[in-house]
Amino acid sequence: MIEKLQHKYALSRQGAVDMIKACSSVAVTNIVLMMPAAVLYSLIKDLLEGTLTRDRIPFYVIASVIILALIALANFIQYNATFLTTYRESGVRRTALAEKLRKLPLSYFGKKNIADLTTNIMGDCAQIETASSHWIPELIGAVISVTLVGISLFFAFDWRMVLASFWVIPVAFFIIITCSGAEKIAVRKNQAVKLAMTDGIQECLESIRDLRANNAENRYMDELEGKIRDVEKQALFTELKMALYVNSAAIILKLGIGTTAVVGGALFAEGEISLLTFFMFLMLVARLYDPMQITLQNFAVIIATGIQCERLDEVLSAEIQTGSEEMKNEGYDIVFDHVGFQYADDTDVLKDVSFTAKQGEVTALIGPSGGGKTTVSRLAARFWDVNEGKITLGGVAVSKIDPEELLKNYSIVFQDVTLFNNTVMENIRIGKSGATDEEVMEAARLANCEEFVNLLPDRYNTYIGENGSELSGGERQRISIARAFLKDAPVILLDEATASLDAENEAAIQEALSRLIKDKTVLIIAHRMRTIANADHIVVLQDGVVAEQGSPEVLSGHDGIYSRMKAQQMKTQSWKIAHD
């Protein structure tokens, strides 16, 4: 049962145990709340039979005090078992989700978009938190308590009165259960249009500059408004559909009062039950049906919450990359041995790729776009796992090493730099947690950052805006290189690090990179031939295969892809805008 609860409601093991306790506490509280009816029944019976003496009064006083104490205790236990444990579990769930996302391979994120994952982390967790603290324990607790009370009354009183009072409850639940399939379909559609809207809003915010530059704001906003209207229409449709089922169940539930009155009246008229029993059942259904109506509404919401639980469980159950947490490598040569790789759609990206990037040398990956260069660099750092062959670092298969342990050996400088809305100091310190200010500033000096940092208002303590919006492209790239200096890893991966820079910034960054790559294993991706002019080994990738490889001198002497690319770039450098 515990494992089923874990998967059904995306809970930890302790969270599943706590949910069972919460449901039990709600059931106990519901039963305790019915005790005053039992005392009232006994008091009226004594009054009608004339057996209420002075000796009996202390019994009712003491019973009332005890019941009040039990109600207070039951509510206290229920509060702790539902709310406090739920909030604790919510923290565990969010932490577990963050840890899971941290360990998932990048191939997983290729299947997801940011809006979807944000909804997982924020919206779905919040929805499940509310369900776990309010709806689920109340529903299951109500079912347990009503079942126990019904069984007790069946043996203690006339079974016909029990049936007259309780028959509506399973019928009402059956109506709600029959709609669960339709409800899930509607909720999934609701999620789809909401994600489309969220994607549209996020895309609009990220591309507002390009939209304005192309006078496309009105057209885009019309499309976005259509997505918002879709959310509104789908929400109304889902609510109306659920209202149909829930209100039908509520109407059936109210029929129980009528059947209890009719059957009770008939049995009382025939002398088969007492007036007191008749009165007790009327009082009982009034007590039962109102909470049950709320529970039925909650049941409908719980069905909808199941979609959020499935989405979270999908993330929490996803396969992670594992491996040894101890590296026993000999040196830092990177060897690709007949490597093949496909993405989820089984399209070949790399086929039988073999080469060696030696320690102390610069190995350049070049070739036409889409040839697999970036994929090679990602596989080297185990962002993905290969489908065929193997990749080794210092003789150790990277697939056998824990990704976090493996990445301690890599410094990576991407073309698209990611910076945070923090100070220059803290953005560089990401390269090495716990680095001193002096270490950070030395790394910045080596990366030629001092030139622009000294011009900032608060120098290293200047906030640089979201993703470094206050800095130029060259300045952002230099911060990225400073991180690599600070980490000082033995393997350097450079992915088009100077592709989008002007000549002045490119020269400054190439000077910094020359210091960074000294005596390290360097794998560099580049399109500009001058960037790799001093490379020791060149690997030309085309259509996912190694078309040719060797030193620049050897490849220049062949009429191959490298020599043609070199000639083409020399030709483009002399290109001028033609005008009449």
- pLDDT band of residue 73 (cuts 50, 70, 90) is very high
**Mean pLDDT (whole number) for 47-55:** 80
Residue 326 lies in a domain: no
Tokens of 234: 């789908």
Q: Clarify whether residues 437 and 349 are in a common domain.
A: yes
Residue 395 lies in a domain: yes
Q: Clarify whether residues 279 and 399 are in a common domain.
A: no
For the stretch 445-449, contacts whose Cβ atoms lie closer than 8 Å and that sit 24 or more positions apart, written own/partner, are 446/482, 446/485, 446/512, 446/515, 446/516, 447/478, 447/479, 447/481, 447/482, 447/484, 447/485, 447/512, 447/516, 448/478, 448/508, 448/509, 448/511, 448/512, 449/424, 449/475, 449/478, 449/479, 449/482
Residue 70 has pLDDT above 90, yes or no: yes
State the Cα–Cα distance between residues 144 and 169, nearest whole angstrom. 12
Q: Clarify whether residues 366 and 298 are in a common domain.
A: no
The pLDDT tens digits of the residues spanning 137-178 come to 888 888 888 888 888 888 888 889 889 888 888 888 888 788
Q: Clarify whether residues 370 and 293 are in a common domain.
A: no
Q: Clarify whether residues 396 and 282 are in a common domain.
A: no
- Weakest mean pLDDT among 8-17, 78-87, 97-106, 506-515: 506-515
The pLDDT tens digits of the residues spanning 480-525 come to 888 888 888 899 888 876 655 556 666 666 777 777 777 789 888 8
The pLDDT tens digits of the residues spanning 206-226 come to 777 777 778 877 888 888 888
Residue 65 has pLDDT above 90, yes or no: yes
Residue 335 has pLDDT above 90, yes or no: yes
Residue 233 has pLDDT above 80, yes or no: yes
Residue 329 lies in a domain: no
Place of tokens 């790239």: 477
Residue 432 lies in a domain: yes
- Weakest mean pLDDT among 24-38, 450-464, 501-515: 501-515
State the Cα–Cα distance between residues 396 and 383, nearest whole angstrom. 16
- For residue 412, give the amino acid letter: I
Residue 124 has pLDDT above 80, yes or no: no
Higher pLDDT, 332 or 134: 332
Size of the chain in residues: 580
Residue 576 has pLDDT above 60, yes or no: no
Higher pLDDT, 204 or 359: 359
State the Cα–Cα distance between residues 274 and 60, nearest whole angstrom. 22
Residue 340 lies in a domain: yes
Q: Clarify whether residues 84 and 195 are in a common domain.
A: yes
469 Cβ contact list (under 8 Å, min separation 6):
none
Helices (H), 104-216: 106-109, 114-118, 125-130, 136-156, 159-166, 168-178, 180-206, 208-213
- Based on the structure, what is the number of domains in the chain? 2
The dihedral built from the CA positions of residue 316, 318, 324 and 326, taken in this order, carries a sign that is negative
Give the other-Cβ count within 10 Å of 466's Cβ. Answer: 10
Residue 69 has pLDDT above 90, yes or no: yes
Counting beta carbons within 10 angstroms of the beta carbon of residue 245, is it exposed (0 to 12), middle (13 to 18) or buried (19 or more)? Answer: buried
State the Cα–Cα distance between residues 281 and 276, nearest whole angstrom. 9
- Cβ atoms of 381 and 402 within 8 Å: the answer is no
Mean of per-residue pLDDT scores for the chain: 82
Q: Clarify whether residues 393 and 521 are in a common domain.
A: yes
Of 456, 531, 464, give the one whose Cα is nearest residue 500: 531
Helices (H), 358-418: 373-380, 403-407
Residue 125 lies in a domain: yes
Tokens of 240: 């109306």
Report the pLDDT value the prediction gives residue 4, as an integer from 0 to 100: 78
Residue 566 lies in a domain: yes
Give the structural domain span for 399: 334-573
- Weakest mean pLDDT among 320-329, 445-454, 498-507: 498-507
Of 517, 478, 519, give the one whose Cα is nearest residue 498: 478
- pLDDT band of residue 392 (cuts 50, 70, 90) is very high
Give the other-Cβ count within 10 Å of 380's Cβ. Answer: 24
- pLDDT band of residue 111 (cuts 50, 70, 90) is low
Report the pLDDT value the prediction gives residue 255, as an integer from 0 to 100: 87
539 Cβ contact list (under 8 Å, min separation 6):
355, 363, 364, 365, 366, 376, 546, 549
**Mean pLDDT (whole number) for 560-573:** 72
Residue 10 has pLDDT above 80, yes or no: no
Report the pLDDT value the prediction gives residue 35, as an integer from 0 to 100: 84
Residue 572 has pLDDT above 80, yes or no: no
3-state helix, strand, coil in the chain (%, to 5): 65, 10, 25
Report the pLDDT value the prediction gives residue 66, as an integer from 0 to 100: 93
Report the pLDDT value the prediction gives residue 469, as an integer from 0 to 100: 76
CA atoms within 13 A on the CB side of 112: 20
Residue 535 has pLDDT above 70, yes or no: yes
Of 169, 174, 138, give the one whose Cα is nearest residue 289: 169
Report the pLDDT value the prediction gives residue 569, as an integer from 0 to 100: 67
Residue 306 lies in a domain: yes
The dihedral built from the CA positions of residue 275, 277, 282 and 286, taken in this order, carries a sign that is positive
Q: Clarify whether residues 277 and 400 are in a common domain.
A: no
Q: Clarify whether residues 189 and 149 are in a common domain.
A: yes
Q: Clarify whether residues 295 and 408 are in a common domain.
A: no
Report the pLDDT value the prediction gives residue 497, as an integer from 0 to 100: 63
CATH number at 45 reads 1.20.1560.10
DSSP code string of 192-232: HHHHHHHHHHHHHHHTHHHHHHTT-HHHHHHHHHHHHHHHH
State the Cα–Cα distance between residues 429 and 487, nearest whole angstrom. 9
The pLDDT tens digits of the residues spanning 425-441 come to 998 998 888 889 998 89
Residue 57 has pLDDT above 80, yes or no: yes
Q: Clarify whether residues 16 and 105 are in a common domain.
A: yes
The pLDDT tens digits of the residues spanning 338-390 come to 999 887 666 778 898 899 999 888 888 888 877 888 888 888 888 888 889 99
Q: Clarify whether residues 372 and 299 are in a common domain.
A: no
Continuous segment of H or E residues that includes residue 390 = strand 388-393
